[in-house]
Amino acid sequence: MATATTPQDHDAGEALAERIRQASIDGTPLRIVGGDTRFFYGREVKGDELSTREHCGISFYDPVELVVSVRTGTPLAALEAALAEHGQILPFEPPRYGEASTVGGMVASGLSGPRRPWAGAVRDFVLGTRVINHEGIEQRFGGEVMKNVAGYDLSRLMVGAQGTLGLITEVSFKVLPAPGAVQSLHLELPLDEARLRLADWGREPLPISAAAWLDGALHLRLEGGPSSVAATRARIGGDELDNAFWSALRDQHLPFFRAGQAPLWRLSLPHRAPALDLPGIDESLMIHDWAGAQRWLRTELDAEAVRQACQAAGGHATCYGPRPAAIEPFTPLPEVLMKYHRNLKAQLDPKGIFNPGRLYAAF
């Protein structure tokens, strides 16, 4: 078993639990903060700040078991560095929106990077969580094994819930070996042609692990054994592309993300969804990541129109901050679904102390 330590190894669980017990007694809302690098992802929370940063360190890592357990205040960069020492990775390639990005923020936001369509999302690699509940009791769901169906899957429920159901204090992940070979490619292709090729390649067992179309070119990444990567590279052609392109895309460092004042939209769509029915939108000015399943758009168009177009295509749209106050970040839920969201929130956080209003005004 590897002993991995991060410089600030510290278990602040009891102090966090005490804060929550007190907040529960007082009915004080808490605003949970890790590295505060994902402030743009959701509604503003009014509450006392509860920082996870002191709750830091890798509590268990066994590369042979493919399992790592880590406290949620741990910087994401520190976790990935510890894995890299053993040639392993978080396969979902989580974005870092700054050096301060924490494991807790990664799990709470549930955002995944370019490898997501092929490898899976954050939630797919969560094996277990420790969560401090509304009474200030730390509870454990799931565990450190690959298969576990005992009880309801509350661990995965926490992913993307943005801390509204409890404070996640520790997460166990399944990790995987880093691919043996990586090759990124740049192919000048019109968007329509790129879509057709991706659809064809998608039906074959090719070692594609990222595909994004922007600026008139398809950007592809091949990952796998050296033999298959070389063979696929020879077959597909194109020019070599620096692998660093993918972290720039993942972390929103490309010029697209920095230019312009119009609100930034993340469109999550079925990958083969055609061009959206939106007036005045030039699809060639968008980024089509995830082989078309995640598209980035800057527009001043009415939020309702953007959302309707995405819903008509089978997806949804999220508005990243900074955004005008009138635009909700997340797509409103159908009535029945909203009812059960409220019920679940009321059951797991009856006093409404955890990040109230972060996802929706109603809870």
22 binds another protein (CB under 8 A): no
**155 Ramachandran zone, left/alpha/beta (phi>0; psi -120 to 50):** alpha
- Distance between CA atoms of 298 and 283, rounded to whole angstroms? 11
- Distance between CA atoms of 340 and 157, rounded to whole angstroms? 13
Task: Indicate which single residue of 31, 43, 96, 156 sits in contact with another protein (rule: CB under 8 A).
Answer: 156
What would the x/- binding string for another protein be over residues 31 to 70, using CB under 8 A? -------------------------------xxxxxx---
197 binds another protein (CB under 8 A): no
Residue type, 23: A
- Distance between CA atoms of 195 and 273, rounded to whole angstroms? 10
19 vs 266 by CB, closer to another protein:
266
154 binds another protein (CB under 8 A): yes
The Cβ of residue 347 has, within 10 Å, a number of other Cβ atoms equal to 10
CB of 184 to another protein, least distance (A): 18
Q: What are phi and psi of 248, to 5 degrees?
A: -65, -40
Task: Indicate which single residue of 7, 27, 46, 149 sits in contact with another protein (rule: CB under 8 A).
Answer: 149
What would the x/- binding string for another protein be over residues 225 to 264, using CB under 8 A? xxxx--xx--------------------------------
CB of 288 to another protein, least distance (A): 13
Per CB under 8 A, contacts with another protein among 84-123 are 87, 110, 116-117, 120-121, 123
362 binds another protein (CB under 8 A): no
157 binds another protein (CB under 8 A): yes
341 binds another protein (CB under 8 A): yes
10 vs 341 by CB, closer to another protein:
341
What would the x/- binding string for another protein be over residues 200 to 229, using CB under 8 A? --xxxxxx----------------xxxxx-
Give me 67's structure tokens: 């399992």
355 binds another protein (CB under 8 A): no
159 binds another protein (CB under 8 A): yes
246 vs 363 by CB, closer to another protein:
363
Stretch that binds another protein, among 34-42, 48-56, 75-83, 326-334 (CB under 8 A): 326-334
> Residue 52, CB half-sphere, CA atoms under 13 Å: how many?
33
334 binds another protein (CB under 8 A): yes
In sequence order, what DSSP letters do the residues of 71-108 get, joined into one string?
ETTSBHHHHHHHHHTTTEE-TT----SSTT-BHHHHHH
Residue 307, exposed/middle/buried by CB under 10 A (0-12, 13-18, 19+)? buried
- Distance between CA atoms of 127 and 121, rounded to whole angstroms? 13
The CA–CA distances, whole Å, from 250 to 247, 257, 283, 304 equal 5, 11, 20, 27
Stretch that binds another protein, among 9-17, 42-50, 149-157, 253-261 (CB under 8 A): 149-157
181 vs 301 by CB, closer to another protein:
181
The site for another protein, by CB under 8 A, has a size of 85
Paired strand residues for 212? 219
The CA–CA distances, whole Å, from 22 to 32, 317, 358 equal 15, 37, 21
54 vs 330 by CB, closer to another protein:
330
Q: Are the CB atoms for 224 and 207 separated by under 8 Å?
A: yes
